[in-house]
Structure 1
Amino acid sequence: MKIYLNGQLVSKDEAKISVFDHGLLYGDGIFEGIRIYNRKVFLLEEHIERLYESAHAIRLPIPLSPAEMTKAVEETVAANELVDGYIRLVITRGSGSLGLDIRRTSDPQVIIIADKISLYPEELYEQGLKIITASTIRNHPQALSPRIKSLNYLNNILAKIEGSDAGCLEAVMLNHKGEVAECTGDNIFIVKNGVLKTPSTDAGILDGITRRAVLRLAREAKLEIMETTMTRHELYVADECFLTGSAAEVIAVVELDGRLIGDGKPGPVTKDLKSRFEKLTRE
């Protein structure tokens, strides 16, 4: 495996950063998770745009231009000879002192890892997931904007632990108002009476790249779409439910908090959008 580290492709064992890096000390940095399909980086332009928006929001200077970053990602994929895989693109604040002052940091680190990923067992893409609602909520949007894809995922990790303890691979997270936000690593959709519904970005969710792609596919399929406030009750009584994410792709949810969703099987709209998404990844 070759990892891109600040302009060089190095072995996994050689890919090292300072223990004083604020990405390690404080989770001060940003990242993107990106898919590779048939040797092509999927929706790379959208991921790069979001990366630089996150960086700008936290005043983190990236030492490469977007064009240079794009080239670095593509070169890393080629060096690892990946046909299908996953990229983790990380920018840290850089090395500094044992304090919070960003003025005492320097040399932001650019790290690109290209590898394989399997978030869920293959059979669950056919059968659907059973999930729970976590008691850990999403960060308050006035504390940390959910539009920033930062290195600090501790609340998501705590919610993921709750799901794991309950024997589930995912968990729904509510926002500070008690409304449905998203899952620990995925955006969430439901179908009710033929209408596709998903929480709006105002609910405190990450503006997912795969979420955007699925919404575009739904429009092409002439589905009625609502980006709206949602409650757990609406999930319980939905006809269908599914999740989207760069790592997760599109996967059905068939049970939430011990309640079957629909008939307990992936529904027709979910299957159609999953098929459309798979086709999109191979174009």
Structure 2
Amino acid sequence: MPVWINGELVPSERATVSVFDHGLLYGDGVFEGMRIYSGKVFRLAEHLERLYESARAICLRVPIELAEMTAAVEKTVAANDLTDGYIRLIVTRGPGTLGLGPDRCRDPQVIIIAATIQLYPEEHYEKGLEIITSSVIRNHPAALSPRIKSLNYLNNIMAKIEGAQAGCVEALMLNHKGEVAECTGDNIFLVKHGELYTPPLDAGILAGVTRAVVLELAAELEIPAHEKALTKHDVYIADECFLTGSAAEVVPVVKVDSRPIGDGKPGQMTARLRDAFQKHVRQ
């Protein structure tokens, strides 16, 4: 499995970074996760735009221009001969000395990994997920903007652990105001009376690329969609619930905190949007 590191494709066993890289030492870096469909990276331009914006937000200089990054991603996909799969694109601060100061680092590192992926088994798409609400809240937006897709995911990991301890593969996270934010790796949508609801960006969520696609598809299907503040009460009384993400795509949720959502089965609108999403990515 060739991995792209700083302009060179190397075998995975030789794909290494320095133990002094601040991405490893302090989570100082940014990343993107992207899907490959029919040999092409889905919404590559949107993902790269978010990557460069995340880097700029943390004063991290991406060492190559956008056109070169695009070519590097496509070259990595071709080298791994992937028709359907997943890309993890990482930019770290680079190796430096011990200590937080980014001025101690040199040579930001660009790493592109291409592999196959299946986040959830097919059973979860057919029968739906059961999730819990985590006691771990999303990072306060005044501390770190949720729009930055950084390498420091400990906040989400702790919520993920709590979900796993409850026997769930995902966990819902609230923001500092007690509003619904997102799950540990996915955005959340609710359906009520035939209309679609999802938390707004100022609820402390990542501006998900798949989330944006679902909102576009809802508009095409003439499904009323709203970005508004939501509470756990809204989740509990929803007719349907589903999650979206590059790896997860569109996956139904049938139970939250041991409470059935709707009739406890994946709903019709969820299935309709999932079908529309699958057709869209294959086009």
Scaled to the shorter chain, the TM-score interval is over 0.9
Matched positions, count: 283
The aligned amino acid for 1:9 is: L
Written as runs of structure 1 = structure 2, the 5 A alignment for 1:60-71 is: 60-71=60-71
SS of residue in 2 equivalent to 1:100: coil
Deviation at 1:118, TM superposition (A): 1.1
In the other structure, the counterpart of 1:250 is: 250
CA distance in 2, matches of 1:138, 1:152: 13
In the other structure, the counterpart of 1:134 is: 134
In the alignment, structure 1 segments of 5+ residues that lack a partner are: none
CA distance in 1, matches of 2:160, 2:209: 21
CA distance in 2, matches of 1:228, 1:201: 9
- TM-score, normalised relative to structure 2: 0.99
SS of residue in 1 equivalent to 2:125: helix
Deviation at 1:103, TM superposition (A): 1.1
Deviation at 1:159, TM superposition (A): 0.3
Query: Deviations for 1:91-124, whole angstroms, at most 9, x for unmatched residues?
Result: 0000111111111111000000000111111111
CA distance in 1, matches of 2:195, 2:80: 42
Query: Deviations for 1:167-208, whole angstroms, at most 9, x for unmatched residues?
Result: 000000000011100000000000001110000000000000
The aligned amino acid for 1:61 is: R
SS of residue in 2 equivalent to 1:185: coil
Identity %: 67
- TM-score, normalised relative to structure 1: 0.99
In the other structure, the counterpart of 1:98 is: 98
Query: Deviations for 1:229-256, whole angstroms, at most 9, x for unmatched residues?
Result: 0000100000000000001000000000
Q: Does 1:185 align with 2:185?
A: yes
SS of residue in 2 equivalent to 1:158: helix
Written as runs of structure 1 = structure 2, the 5 A alignment for 1:1-283 is: 1-283=1-283
The aligned amino acid for 2:72 is: A
Displacement over 6 Å in runs of 4+ = none
Query: Deviations for 1:55-100, whole angstroms, at most 9, x for unmatched residues?
Result: 1100100111111000000000000000100000000000111111
CA distance in 2, matches of 1:5, 1:221: 42
Deviation at 1:13, TM superposition (A): 0.9
